[in-house]
Amino acid sequence: MKEFREFALKGDVLDLAIGIILGANFNAIVNSLVQDIVMPPLGMLLGGADFAQFDFLLKQGIPAGPYGSLEAAQGAGAVTLNYGAFISVLMSFLIIAIVLFFLVWGINRFRSRLEEGVP
């Protein structure tokens, strides 16, 4: 038990735990940004469509379509290719990747300035 406590209380493990918790919350923020801020104007530009509802029907359900929404199609057992949801997730990934790129870039720049002695 003593060895486990020493392991769990090491700085690296605590830093990792904090990073995971912050990462999960950052993911929620980015998902909200994409779903609530970015996608509505995009949907408006595309004729007022809800981006998450963009799908391609692969197989009819029972009863057969047309279906008023993606949820109705899935409720009927239809098989759909949900490309709108995929585009939303892809946009979330791109936003996270850009933010992390600039974060790492800034940290590396700060470190190199510290090594050079420039404040």
In a domain, 64, yes or no: no
Alpha-carbon span 21 to 14, nearest angstrom: 11
Strands 79-81 and 56-59: antiparallel
Alpha-carbon span 87 to 84, nearest angstrom: 5
Residue 12 pLDDT greater than 80, yes or no: no
- pLDDT band for 10, please (50, 70, 90 cuts): low
33-77 residue pLDDT tens: 877 888 788 778 877 767 777 888 888 888 887 888 778 888 888
Number of structural domains, the chain?
Answer: 1
In a domain, 25, yes or no: yes
pTM, rounded to two decimals: 0.61
**Structural domain of residue 22, as residue ranges?**
2-49+82-116
In a domain, 58, yes or no: no
